[in-house]
Amino acid sequence: MNQELISALSDLGREKGIGKDVILDALEAALVAAYKRNFASAQNVEVVINQENGEVKVYSQKEVVDTADYKDSQTQITLDDARKISGQYGIGDIVDVEVTPKNFGRIAAMTAKQVVTQRIREAERGIIYSEYTEKENDIVSGKVQRIERGNVFVDIGKVEALLPVNEQPKNETYQIHQWIKCYVSEVKNGSKGTQILLSRTHPGLVKCLFAQEVPEIQEGIVEIKSVAREAGSRTKIAVHSNDPDVDPQGACIGPKGLRVQHVGDELKNEKIDIVKWSEDPAEFIAASLSPAKVLSTQINEEEKSAKVKVPEHQLSLAIGKAGQNVRLAARLTGWKIDISTEPTAEDSEE
């Protein structure tokens, strides 16, 4: 051990983003294991590395006992011998006695390598886990590395993340080296390191994409109150403005519809309905059934249900294909919605 090694450890620490102290602690633990394995397995020892010059010393930790109680030379030292080292020692104290073998450096270097490498790997895992935990419930961009049994493995930087089959919209296909944006649904620290699960179906993906596109959302002026989504087909989002001079729907649509178009493009042309949120349940429910026009809404607070009347000619529009529109409206508002019709003058003309 020498100054060159200390410099190498410092360089390694900077390269891997790990503090030199972490590496030195790992190295000291490895050297303790090496000493016990090669010299005295039953002995209580500690290894100290001088961070300035790289000098390594091994100390046997022995308890000071009375001569009459002295039984084990590996774990005990008599009071008389202890006081030869320092007159301040008393019964029960722990004395560090240097026991560094002459050829310890060579043996330690060979033995410690694997353990140090493992500790560094563990430290790296911890750093990666901490970094990506902060990205949970956010979106990341990555490149498709490989596809196995429908599962897509995405390179997102320091780690490979998994986009499972059940988190992929049915209308989407992926190609090797394709760049995609995904929602980080879960970060786990497992035996094989940090595992990151991605999603392209999660409603949070839509919310995060709008947050990237709409400055008013980033500034907190416009809020996305709720999202209801059937991935690959249609999404409804409810928006609210904290500034009466800012139209939340207009902010999300953007000039010439560019903002919502960019989000739709990322979602492979998924249809997006932007609904104005309201504290009034009747008003919010009516808006949630867009693009259908609602004539009246009757609210049942106890059952949290609503009876909605629409013109006869808009019934199919309100319900949507296979019930999709009313289903998404119910999810968006959190209310059970029952739709019926009421003839209008327009229906009579038809």
DSSP 204-240: HHHHHHHHHH-HHHHTTSEEEEEEEEETTTEEEEEEE
What mean pLDDT is predicted for residues 118-147? 88
Residue 137 has pLDDT above 60, yes or no: yes
Provide the 10 A C-beta neighbour count for residue 148.
Answer: 8
Q: Of 179, 199, 219, which residue constitutes the final position of a domain?
A: 199
Residue 137 maps to a domain: no
Residue 348 has pLDDT above 60, yes or no: no
Q: Of 132, 164, 180, which residue constitutes the final position of a domain?
A: 132
What mean pLDDT is predicted for residues 170-188? 95
Residue 28 has pLDDT above 90, yes or no: no
Residues 213, 174 share a domain: no
**What DSSP designation does 1 have?**
-
Residues 191, 86 share a domain: no
Residues 173, 72 share a domain: no
Residues 119, 19 share a domain: yes
Question: Contact 187/129 with Cβ under 8 angstroms?
Answer: yes
Residue 28 maps to a domain: yes
Residue range(s) defining the domain that contains residue 287: 203-349
- State the pairing for strand pair 94-98/56-65: antiparallel
State residue 185 phi and psi, 5-degree precision: -90, -30
Highest averaged pLDDT of the listed ranges 22-26, 126-130, 313-317:
313-317
- What would the DSSP string read from start to end of 140-173? EEEEEEEEETTEEEEE-SSSEEEE-GGGS-TT--
Whole-model pTM above 0.75? no
Instruction: Output the domain CATH number for residue 330.
Output: 3.30.300.20
Question: Considering only CA atoms, which of 271, 274, 252 is closest in space to residue 171?
Answer: 271
Dist CA 192 CA 159 (whole Å): 12
Residues 345, 208 share a domain: yes
Residue 1 has pLDDT above 70, yes or no: no
Give the residue carrying structure tokens 């498709």. 144
Q: Indicate the SS3 state at residue 4.
A: helix
Dist CA 31 CA 46 (whole Å): 9
Who has greater pLDDT, 259 or 19? 259
Residues 114, 11 share a domain: yes
pLDDT tens readout for residues 276-291: 999 999 999 999 999 9
Question: Contact 59/104 with Cβ under 8 angstroms?
Answer: no
Cis peptide before 291 (omega within 30 of 0): yes
Residue 138 maps to a domain: no
Residue 274 maps to a domain: yes
Altogether, the residues listed in the chain come to a count of 350
Who has greater pLDDT, 291 or 9? 291
Residues 118, 15 share a domain: yes
Residues 238, 100 share a domain: no
Question: Considering only CA atoms, which of 114, 125, 126 is closest in space to residue 30?
Answer: 114
pLDDT tens readout for residues 210-224: 999 999 999 999 999
Q: Of 132, 156, 188, which residue constitutes the final position of a domain?
A: 132
Residues 302, 248 share a domain: yes
Residue 198 has pLDDT above 60, yes or no: yes
Give pLDDT, residue 17. Answer: 67
Amino acid sitting at position 277: W
Residue 213 maps to a domain: yes
Residue 179 maps to a domain: yes
Number of domains in the chain: 3
Give pLDDT, residue 154. Answer: 97
Question: Which of 22-36, 257-271, 315-329 bottoms out in mean pLDDT, i.e. has the lowest?
Answer: 22-36
pLDDT band at 31 (very low <50, low <70, confident <90, very high): confident
Give pLDDT, residue 286. Answer: 96
What mean pLDDT is predicted for residues 18-26? 76
Who has greater pLDDT, 128 or 240? 240
- State the pairing for strand pair 94-98/45-49: unpaired
pLDDT band at 304 (very low <50, low <70, confident <90, very high): very high
What mean pLDDT is predicted for residues 326-336? 97
Residue 56 host element (H or E): strand 56-65
Residues 297, 336 share a domain: yes
Residues 291, 182 share a domain: no
Residues 128, 147 share a domain: no
- State the pairing for strand pair 179-190/160-163: unpaired
pLDDT tens readout for residues 55-113: 888 888 899 999 888 888 888 899 999 998 888 999 999 998 888 888 777 766 676 56
Residue 212 maps to a domain: yes
